[in-house]
Structure 1
Amino acid sequence: MASRQSGSSQHRRHSSRSTNGDSEDVIEQTKQVITSLDDVVSNRPHQWETYLASARSAVTALERLHFFRDPARFAEQVWIIQGLQDYAYHDADTGCIEDIAEFCQASWLRVLRNFPENVEVLTGLGQNWLQRAQYTLARIHHEEGADLSSGGSQAGDIEDLLSLEEDAEWETVPPHPDPRRQGPLYVEARGYLQPAVDFFSRAVQSADSLGITTGDLLAAAAESQMSLGNVTAPPADEQFFTQAIWYLRYAAATPGYSLSIYLQQYLDDYGRYV
């Protein structure tokens, strides 16, 4: 009896080592896939479909291994999710690879349970929602001729709300209702952009508390605020434009960081009104 128990115990230990070894092999293979996806997105985005089966196989393997439950593998988790997310949104204006984008979102949330204030994870979630909105914003631009996705229409919006002359009285200027902003595309865009704004705001707050706030994070947070302002009817949109200006000022003051030409022009043109 003792001998059989000992043999059984040895067999379990051997099986455990074998299983762990197999799991590590799968994870290494998955990392190789992510490296290939990074290369495709960076250098050959037109070939994205060639790698779709490999990407989906990687997703299936990670789900089977419950890879994102282990807090000890945080750095690997972030790198893998970001690689898959970049691939899923390789051309966000034309849409995304829906199942992979949703897997990335769910995976960020799993990691967030272990690291609820982590800046990288909160930023990754903000990016996921902001990129998801791009296709809807592009449709609004195409169907209505308002370049919301790049901020082109917010000139009129923010001027209506914020262009106060020195002797003007804000309270006497009534908001201008825009029925278009109650349409289904606008509702859809707000549904994507509100979570983006929320996650980026949390990321900035967390980064500030740690003293690690970057210009890139602030610029992305500003973009989410500007985009949400663009699809929100006045006077509610004012708060988003105002917050965007605040983020842009903060980013511009960050040592070693320069705003993009577009964002700097936006700050120069409309920052004086806030």
Structure 2
Amino acid sequence: MSRQSGSSKHKSKSGGSSDNEGLVEQVKNIVTLLYEVVSSRPHECENYIPSARSAIAALDQIHFFRDPQRFAEQVWILQGLQEFGFYDADAGCIRDITEFCQASWLRILRNFPDNRSQSTLAQIHQEEGDTSSQGSSQAGNLNRDEDFAQLSQDTDDDLGSPSDPRRQGPLYVEARGNLQPAVDFYERAVRAADAQGYIAGNILSSAAEAQMSLGNVTTPPGDERLFSQAIRYLRRAEAVPGYTLSVYMQQYLNDYGRYVN
């Protein structure tokens, strides 16, 4: 998705008021500027923190992330805000901006089951289910009661090679494009938290979930790297005092953790 053309490419799909649309356009202009400052004038970023916060306030005012019809715009805006929020990796992050991004990603990923990423994943799941019913395994899916070694063999047998046409199909390409921003965000969030000497279990668990989701639509060997990183995040989350993994995440860790160094 082009950063430079983001403000002009993403047109409104909703029937909101002209006032709201005016605010959205103002936010897009700010985010376009933030992209530019981060990429070419990072030493000036601190001067633009008030602008980023004003964009966030406007988005909250119009409940922008409650509209599942504006998925592409939402992703583009969040990418710009999160890159700005982490512009100085050594200093950590601008906490209120990155927390806003985290909450907004979770809303996109979980609260709107009909948005593009969820719809794409549902279509992939249906396709793989159809294939499975004809005797094939669901490639890349670790959420089954079989050994990791056997899974690797099944994947090789079923897909043949990393360039398998099905994994390069439009549904998978779209799903990867939709899921990658969340993976990137959580990776940066974990790094920033580590730099500050504190990490919350829910951040690590969400980072693991993002890795797993992307892994399920990624060709080998990239999928294995993603699943392995998910296990590492879950191990760390499990070790956070006072934090308890969900039943699903704990089972995943128990089943496959022993295969990851």
Taking structure 1 as the reference length, what is the TM-score of the superposition? 0.58
Distance 1:266 1:255, change over 3 A: same
Please name the residue that 1:140 is paired with: 124
- 2:203 equivalent among 207, 217, 221: 217
Superposed CA RMSD: 4.2
Aligned residues of 1:119 and 1:206 also touching (Cα < 8 A): no
Gaps of 5+ in 1: 1-48, 90-94, 147-151, 165-169
- Partner Cα distance (2:215, 2:78) in 1: 26
Distance 1:107 1:198, change over 3 A: closer
Deviation at 1:215, TM superposition (A): 1.3
Distance 1:199 1:271, change over 3 A: same
Please name the residue that 1:271 is paired with: 257
Note the alpha carbon deviations across 1:56-106, whole angstroms, 9 max, x for none.
3432354578897731466665565578564245xxxxx654434433444
Q: How does 1:1-274 map to 2 (within 5 A)?
A: 55-62=20-27, 70-72=48-50, 78=56, 81=59, 84=63, 86-89=65-68, 96-113=70-87, 117-118=92-93, 120=95, 121=97, 124=101, 127=105, 131=109, 133-145=117-129, 153-156=141-144, 159=146, 161-162=148-149, 175-178=156-159, 179=164, 180-274=166-260
- Shifted more, 211-220 versus 184-193: the winner is 184-193
Aligned residues of 1:119 and 1:207 also touching (Cα < 8 A): no
Distance 1:79 1:51, change over 3 A: same
Give the 3-state SS of the residue equivalent to 2:167 in structure 1. Answer: helix
Aligned residues of 1:193 and 1:224 also touching (Cα < 8 A): yes
- Partner Cα distance (2:30, 2:55) in 1: 13
Identity of aligned residues (%): 40
Give the 3-state SS of the residue equivalent to 1:182 in structure 2. Answer: coil
Distance 1:173 1:135, change over 3 A: closer
Note the alpha carbon deviations across 1:167-225, whole angstroms, 9 max, x for none.
xxx9x999345233222211222233334323321211111110231112111110111
- Partner Cα distance (1:234, 1:77) in 2: 39
Distance 1:159 1:208, change over 3 A: farther
Say how many residue pairs are matched.
209
Q: Which has the higher helix share?
A: 1
Counterpart AA for 1:102? W
- Partner Cα distance (2:98, 2:185) in 1: 6
Aligned residues of 2:86 and 2:188 also touching (Cα < 8 A): no
- Partner Cα distance (1:61, 1:155) in 2: 43
Gaps of 5+ in 2: 1-13, 35-46, 110-115, 131-139
- Shifted more, 104-113 versus 75-84: the winner is 75-84
Aligned residues of 1:129 and 1:193 also touching (Cα < 8 A): no
Deviation at 1:245, TM superposition (A): 0.9
Distance 1:79 1:269, change over 3 A: farther
Deviation at 1:234, TM superposition (A): 2.9
Taking structure 2 as the reference length, what is the TM-score of the superposition? 0.60
Deviation at 1:142, TM superposition (A): 3.4
